[in-house]
Structures are given as C-alpha cells and as structure tokens.
Amino acid sequence: MENIKVLFITGSGRSGSTLLERMLGQIDAFVSVGEIRHFWRQDYKAELCGCGRLFRECPFWTAVFTEAFGSRKINFPEILALRQKVDRIRYIPAMLSPWQTQSYKKDKKNYTDILIALYQAIKKVSGKEIIIDSSKDVSSYYLLSTLPEIDLHVIHLVRDSRAVAYSWQRKKVQPHVVNETSFMPVFSPRHSAWEWFYRNILAEAGKVRAQTYFRLRYKDIICEPTGSIKLVCKSLQLDTISLNFINENHVTLQQENHTVSGNPVRFQKGEIQLKLDNEWQEAMSKRDKQIVTAITWPFLLQYGFPVRKKKAKENPCEPKN
C-alpha cells in the first residue's frame, strides 16, 4: 500500500496553527483535519466539527469511520487511555528505543494500528495527497516518525514566547463544545515559558526524523502570507499552486473544513483580515514579560524576536525584525 503523506504542524499551543492549516486547506493538495491527537476525547460526540455540525452528524467523519473501522465497535475512552500509555513526552525514549518493554510494544502497536487506519481512511475519503495534522504535540511528531507507513513532513511553527504566555493567561471559551460553557485551560507565564522552551527544543531536535522540516514564524504568516505559504509548498515540492485566496492582508476561506479541535478560526468562512495580535506588548505586566524572556531568550534570539524591550509599533509588520 502507498505511504500516507502527513504534514504535521508542531510547536507551542497558541501559535496560529489553526489559521495556518485553514490557509493550506484552501490548496487542492491538502486536507486539513485539525488536531488528530485530540480525536479520542471522551466528549467527542458533543463537540463540533470544523464544518459546524456535530461530529456524529458530519458526513466526512461518518465516511472516514466506516472506511477505517467498518462495523467494529470503537470505544473512544479506551483509545484515549491507550494514547496516554504511548504518546506522551515521557515515552519518547521508549518510542525511539529498539529495546522496548513487551507492554509498551503491545500498546504502541494497538494504538498506531488504529491511527494508521484513521489516516488511511482520511486519505481515501478526501482523495487528497497530503493530510495536515495540527496536533502540535512533539510526542505525536516523534511517534509518527517511527511509523514506516507514514511519510512525515513537519512545519515547526514559532511565535514570540511572550505573546504565547499572555494568550495562555486569558480565559477563553471552547467554541466547539456544545450543551455547556467550557473554558480552555489557563497557565501561568512561568509554566507557559517552560512548555514553550521544551517544545521548541524537541521540535528542533526531531527534525532529522522527518522527510522535510520547515520552520515558520506566526508573524511571517500574518505579515507575508503569500511568501510564507509559497515557502511551505516549496518545502513539500508542490510547485504549481494557486494562491488566489490570499489578497495582501486578507484571506478568503472557502473550502469546507472538517477539523478536530483548534481555535475559533475553524468556524470562520469567507474573507478574514490577517492582523498581528500584539496586545501582550501593552497589556502584559513587566514582571511576567521578564519571567518569560529569562526562560526563553536563547530561542527568542534564534528565531529573530527582540529580547530587549522595544516600543510597540503602530504597524507591527513594519519594519521586519
């Protein structure tokens, strides 16, 4: 059977991965399915797909499920528990080791057999060449890199650690959860900074495991959308692509998407303005900025973000930094 081409978006949460995958999803070669890692959550059946329907009522996922599992009964909580025994940062050494315990080997095979069946079905039902998985978690990225059935391509998305930490401080409603008001978790700046740091270290360290690896800044997607998407496509050797859905600082999202989890951009349709969210520069406390900068400065320098305080610009896209 032909290998499955997966474009995996890795990096820290709140880095703009949903917007990126929606933009790529406008290109014919891609099918964007969101954060596959979160597919097995217990409350899956009460959540909305990116198309706006409940998952159980979505024709795309119904067809994928039938293709992947037929009449086999799929127990979501059990698969979620299995994922927890296989796909976590602490298990990366076990994933990569040729000497695995019998129980880890068995759990990994059981979980990845299900995952591969799901990817194969997504490929078949969508008819697309490349599946975009925006799970981001580095453990999923490493796990996929061990599977011979997967051709793994990686986009490492980076956003200023202070913007990310500020975003995690804010209380946000989860728009995909129906029948109740559910909030996204809130984290302290210190917690967000360390998470940002180790995710970026592991994303960098794992690049030799992917067939292609491309690092992209969130800021560049907003400020130079056409150039950024062209570079992503070039890294995947997709040459003849039409980017007429991008018009300077606007994108038109027309293609229906069936994404799992992600930010509210999942549900947006039509023309949206690309605007850099730099609220953190004014609204974040000086102490919180100092904590996050102290923990993350080596990568801030490497990725071209200013470490020293700069006056907030009226137009943050100009000049480049």
Separation of alpha carbons 67 and 71, rounded Å: 9
Cβ 160 to Zn ion, closest distance in Å?
32
Please, what is the minimum distance in Å from the beta carbon of residue 114 to Zn ion?
20
The contact pattern for Zn ion, residues 58-97, with x = CB under 5 A and - = no contact, is x-x-------------------------------------
Q: Which residues, numbered 179-208, are part of the site for Zn ion (CB under 5 A)?
A: none
Which residue is associated with the tokens 């994928």? 64
For Zn ion, the binding residue among 258, 266, 291, 296 (CB under 5 A) is 258
- With vertex at residue 164, the alpha carbon angle to CA 160 and CA 168, rounded to the nearest 5 degrees, is 170
**Angle between helices 225-235 and 17-24 in degrees, nearest 10:** 70
Structure tokens given for 259: 């994404």
Among 7, 20, 49, 210, binds Zn ion (CB under 5 A): 49
Distance CA 132, CA 139 (A): 17
Identify which range of 46-54, 134-142, 188-196, 287-295 contacts Zn ion by CB under 5 A.
Answer: 46-54
By CB neighbour count within 10 A (0-12 exposed, 13-18 middle, 19+ buried), where does 207 fall? middle
For residue 268, the minimal CB distance to Zn ion (Å) is 15
Distance CA 135, CA 28 (A): 21
Adjacency order of strands within the sheet including 250-253: 246-247, 250-253, 270-273
| Residue selected from 51, 163, 165, 260 as contacting Zn ion according to rule CB under 5 A | 51
Query: Does 14 contact Zn ion by CB under 5 A?
Result: no
Beta bridge partners of 271: 252
Q: Cβ 48 to Zn ion, closest distance in Å?
A: 8
Q: How far is the CB of 132 from Zn ion (least distance, A)?
A: 15
Q: Which stretch binds Zn ion (CB under 5 A): 48-56, 81-89, 148-156, 189-197?
A: 48-56
Residue ranges binding Zn ion (CB under 5 A): 49, 51, 58, 60, 258
